[in-house]
Structure 1
Amino acid sequence: MHYLACDLGAESGRLMLGTLADGRLSLEELHRFPNGPVETEHGLCWDIPRLFSELKVGLKKAADRKLPIASISCDAWGLDYFLLDENGAVMEPTFSYRDSRNQRGMDAVLNAVSWEEIYEETGIQQMPINSLNQLGAETTARREAAAQFLPLGDGFNYLLSGTAKAEVSLASTTQLYNPHTRDWSDKLINAIGWPREKFPELIPSCTRLGPLKPELADETGLVPIEVIATCSHDTGAAVAAVPAEENDWAYLSSGTWSLIGVEIPEPIITAQSRELNFTNEIGHGNTVRLLRNCIGMWLLSECRRIWATEGHEYSYDDLAQIATEAEPFAALINPTDECFFAPNHMPEAISGYCRDTGQPFPANHGAIIRCALESLALLYAQRLREAESLTGQKINRLHIVGGGSRNELLNQFTA
């Protein structure tokens, strides 16, 4: 049997064909397309029409195979969302979590409810980019025009099926979900002034949403295959696939962001976990992913983008090679520093941090990349020790998943 999976990332998206035969699952990439936030008159936004057009290109390629395909599902990064109007259309713009409005939203939220109350209610780490803070930044006009809030991955399932429901792994990332009641947090929704009815029904992973829209089936040439909400959060999907045994393992979902933590049966929401800013996200089967969300390959992708504009084209393999040739531990950064979140020039941000902290100035591109990779590896080690202190369980194995797992140099530094 054959299946389709759309995996949307902040840097690229892809449509995968999965074939299950003789007890083994094989994967083939049918279509890959670039992604990235676009600067508009409204702010930093996602080009949803283009992304959905790319997905339809992939569906046409799947249809050309003439295979018996059973279903399709989409996953995406957390925190960003669609707003649907009263006619079910996606309201433009769809803001990026990197838009500057988020700090204003967090300030408004914290004026209405304390950080301690938010954490007790949700168990989610505090970040300006959280959906709670983004909703707090929405204008009155947009809030009144919106008929429904829908997390991004579930939004793409909606575009495929016409069914608007929120799968729990993705809903749990919003800082609007209560893991104790397993429902939306009425307390926080009321605090930010949004009507409760604008939040969709919550569903478990592996929920059948319905067939592919007839007009999409006609346009792409696919038969009306079933649309299924699996784990709509990309990290939830990745951790579900980890070949883990026993209880002494952790995971690192390595991509634009690094999500590092452990899987446990119940949330840990304590003063210590709040101080360490650990988050409790829901996984497949209502497991809990106790983790820290921190910066990841964003450091490299932004250096690569900037250098390309300056006439220096590097593949990720090229970056790893020049980093290998650089001096070890010449300088280190704190990747969690705010200066690395959305700088205009990432290489200058890294070099400037080294200068401002009295360290040697990175001599070349390779030194900058090595500094970033070694700093990430040390950050991962710190987060694992913090997870051990919260769970009381020693971690003996780390499973690395996600696009960043292809960076063998970072994997080696992490080991």
Structure 2
Amino acid sequence: MKGLYLAIDIGASSGRHILGHLDNGKLILEEIYRFKNAMTNKNGHKVWDIDYLFEQIKIGLKMCNVLGKKPEYISIDTWAVDYCLLDEKDELIGDVYAYRDNRTKDIDLEVEKIIDSESLYRRTGIQKQPFNTIYQLMALKLQEEESLKKAKTFLMLPDYFQFKLTGVKANEYTNASSTGLVDPDTKNWDYGLIKDLGLPEEIFLHLRKPGVILSDFTKEMAEEIGFRAKVCMCASHDTASAILALPSIKSDALYISSGTWSLFGCENLSPYLTDAARKCNFTNEGGFNYRFRFLKNIMGLWMIQELRREFGEEYTFSKICELARENLDFPSIVDVNSNEFLAPESMSEAIKDFCKNTKQQVPESLGELAAVVYKSLARGYRKAKEEIEELLAKKFSELYIIGGGSQADLLNELTALETGLTVFAGPSEATAVGNLLASMMATGDVLSLLEARELVRKSFEIKRYEFKSNVKIA
């Protein structure tokens, strides 16, 4: 089929292959394949099964062939900060650690022996998170130095998968910007910082801008898959792809990329590196066309996902929303950004313990627990909105919620109520849409970022929520 594109969008809990093409001025999507993803426990660490993920990528591609829907162009995005190291034979070195692994505990203190937090923020613009790649690599240097010595190439996860398909090694800018090792002015690695940290400078490849064609499948991969396609470099950090698909042509819109994480922020044309921004823990991650995603990580629907895992998958997300709505009068609130919610053995017990320790009423049922989470998320969004308005000295009136979490009507209503903003929700597959749009700009089927966002507005239903809501909360 002429003009057929494929987005391979892999998140921390699932992955999907979504075909896209243009038809009468609209972007048409078709999901071809979906698969589960999860961290696994190995030798006391949380790791990713990277071989499984690549097999799933190939299964989805083969399904396109079987269905007679062979894309001409494909691109891959994943979550940020996690990486692969390759040896001199281009083989993986060791396990691919997951960002929720605890090996980075207190590693920030080791980095601060070399560069203090204030200087690091001014240099990279990236918020301090214990799982940032800079801390992961420092943990590797301190705990598994031999693995680091063997390394010849550093690749973020989408870079690695694209290498496996094409044989071409390249580092993409938006995902690399999340590492805490990129200079926001040069848009390239801060090799001086890398050297100061005692990391091997030569393993980091010159950063490449998204929206370009990387290479064809290798001959061997084309034969295995059953067709030949070109691999494009999208904004391979999934949030960067999602923000590309923002259904707003305004330059001053707030957004939440809502999924496992809630990424709350706005777009800036230059990094905002003040000490006040650092203290509020806002980050300046690279976006498409070298825009900056000035945002704050908020824990997100990970907490609901974990409650569902505990209580049973027979509870759909819509059912959990319904139960929470019935319990909105439950009075307790938690700090969703507290570290005890990052990777607890039991999310329900973590929520209960927080309420006990803060002398609040302790939730017991799934409905009460979910109500606490949804209300607390909305409260967290309000705080982030107030902070960003104060930092940038500007007022916002609209908030766009994109990604899978945009389907959570209750959370959208609570968000409008808490923030006092008009909330627009959708598209739910924003990351895949942004992935496709970057490929379309690489080929010239879409000419600009503005045209891409106008296409999103025309192609997808966007729900509207006013802050004058009938929702009653404690």
Cα distance between partner residues in 2 of 1:15 and 1:192: 38
Q: Which residue of 2 aligns with 1:186?
A: 191
The 4+ residue runs of structure 1 with deviation greater than 3 A are: none
Report if aligned partners of 1:135, 1:192 keep a CA contact under 8 Å in 2: no
Q: Which residue of 1 aligns with 2:259?
A: 255
The count of residues paired between Structure 1 and Structure 2 equals 411
Aligned equivalents of 1:142, 1:107: Cα separation in 2: 22
* Aligned residue in 2 for 1:338: 339
**Distance in 2 between residues matched to 1:324 and 1:403, nearest whole Å:** 19
Aligned-partner SS, 2:231: strand
The structure-2 alpha-carbon separation of the partners of 1:83 and 1:102, relative to structure 1 and needing over 3 Å to count, comes to: same
Contact 2:84/2:96 (<8 A) preserved = yes
Q: Which secondary structure does the structure 1 equivalent of 2:281 belong to?
A: coil
Contact 2:189-2:206 at 8 Å conserved across structures: no
TM-aligned CA deviation for residue 99 of structure 1: 0.7
Q: Which residue number in structure 1 is paired with residue 180 of structure 2?
A: 175
SS at match of 2:179: coil
Match of 2:150 in 1: 145
The equivalent residue for 2:362 is 361
Conservation of the 8 A alpha-carbon contact between 1:248 and 1:396: no
- Equivalent position amino acid for 2:130 in 1: P
Aligned counterpart for 2:239 among listed residues 235, 247, 260? 235
- Displacement of 1:328 in angstroms is 2.5
2:439 corresponding residue in structure 1: none
SS of residue paired to 2:383: helix
Structure 2 SS opposite 1:173: helix
> 1: distance between equivalents of 2:398 and 2:160?
35
Does the 8 Å CA contact 2:172/2:210 hold for their aligned counterparts?
A: yes
1:96 to 84, 95, 98: 98
TM-score (norm 1): 0.96
- Root-mean-square deviation over aligned CA pairs: 1.3
Aligned-partner Cα distance in 2 for 1:246–1:206: 22
Identify the residue that residue 291 of structure 1 maps to in structure 2: 295
Given that 1:44 and 1:99 are in contact with CA atoms closer than 8 Å, whether structure 2 keeps it comes out as yes
Bigger mean CA offset, 150-159 vs 268-277: 150-159
* Aligned-partner Cα distance in 2 for 1:77–1:371: 26
User: What displacement does 1:142 show?
Assistant: 0.9
Distance between the aligned counterparts of 2:307 and 2:195, measured in 1? 41
* Residue 279 (structure 1) aligns with: 283
Aligned equivalents of 1:387 and 1:160: distance in 2?
Answer: 41
Cα distance in 2 between the residues matched to 1:68 and 1:16:
12
1:38 pairs, out of 32, 37, 40, with: 40
CA-CA distance at 1:106 after TM superposition: 2.3
| 2:197 matches 1:156 | no
Instruction: Within 5 Å, give how 1:294-309 maps onto structure 2.
Output: 294-308=298-312
**Which residue of structure 2 aligns with residue 111 of structure 1?**
113
> Secondary structure in 2 aligned to 1:112?
coil
- Contact 2:64/2:70, CA 8 A, preserved across alignment: no
Alignment check: 8 A CA contact 1:106 1:137 kept: no
> What is the match of residue 265 of structure 1?
269
Q: CA deviation at 1:291?
A: 0.3
8 Å contact 1:168–1:282 — kept in the other structure?
A: yes
Whether contact under 8 Å (1:109, 1:191) holds in the other structure is no
Q: Distance in 1 between matches of 2:8 and 2:327?
A: 38
- 2-structure distance, mates of 1:270, 1:107: 22
Alignment gaps of 5+ in structure 2 = 417-474
* 1:214-233 to 2 correspondences below 5 Å: 214-222=219-227, 224-233=228-237
Task: Report the equivalent of 1:388.
Answer: 389
Return the alpha-carbon distance in structure 2 between the equivalents of residues 188 and 378 of structure 1: 37
Conservation of the 8 A alpha-carbon contact between 2:94 and 2:147? no
Partner of 1:245 in structure 2? 249
Q: Distance in 2 between matches of 1:68 and 1:128?
A: 41
Distance in 2 separating the partners of 1:328 and 1:284: 42
- 8 Å Cα contact 1:105-1:135 kept in structure 2: no
Question: How far did residue 321 of structure 1 move?
Answer: 1.3
Is contact 2:17-2:60 (8 Å) kept?
A: yes
Partner residue in 2 for 1:85: 87
Q: Which residue identity is paired with 1:170?
A: N
Task: Indicate if the aligned counterparts of 2:86 and 2:151 stay in contact, CA closer than 8 A.
Answer: yes
Aligned partner of 2:402 in structure 1 is: 401
SS at match of 1:26: strand
Separation of aligned partners in 2, 1:393 and 1:214: 53
State the shift of 1:68 in Å: 5.2
Picking from 8, 11, 14, the partner of 1:12 is: 14
Question: Following TM superposition, by how much is the alpha carbon of 1:42 offset from its aligned partner in structure 2, in angstroms?
Answer: 5.7
**Distance of 1:339 and 1:66 partners within structure 2:** 48
Q: Secondary structure at the match of 2:84?
A: strand
The whole-number CA distance in structure 2 between the counterparts of 1:220 and 1:73 is 15
Aligned-residue offset at 1:253: 0.5
Deviation for aligned residue 1:127? 0.7
Check if 1:133 corresponds to 2:135.
yes
SS in 1 for 2:64: helix
CA distance in 2, matches of 1:92, 1:245: 45
Instruction: Specify the SS of the correspondent of 2:309.
Output: helix
SS at match of 1:374: helix
User: Counterpart of 1:181 in 2: which secondary structure?
Assistant: coil
Superposition deviation, residue 356 in structure 1:
1.3
Q: Distance in 2 between matches of 1:143 and 1:349?
A: 35
Q: Which residue of 1 aligns with 2:321?
A: 320
Query: Any residues of structure 2 matched to 1:44-83 within 5 Å, and which?
Result: 44-67=46-69, 69-83=71-85
- Contact 2:162–2:168 (CA under 8 A) maintained in structure 1: yes
1:188 Cα deviation (Å)? Answer: 2.1
**Counterparts in 2 of 1:326 and 1:319: CA distance versus 1, 3 Å:** same
3-state secondary structure, aligned to 2:72: strand
Mapped contact 1:102–1:128 kept (Cα < 8 A):
yes
Structure 1 residues not aligned, in runs of 5+: none
CA distance in 1, matches of 2:206, 2:186: 14
* SS of match in other structure, 1:193: coil
Structure 2 CA distance for aligned equivalents of residues 325 and 356 of structure 1 = 25
> What's the CA shift for 1:329?
4.7
TM-score normalised by structure 2 residue count: 0.85
Shift of 1:393: 2.1
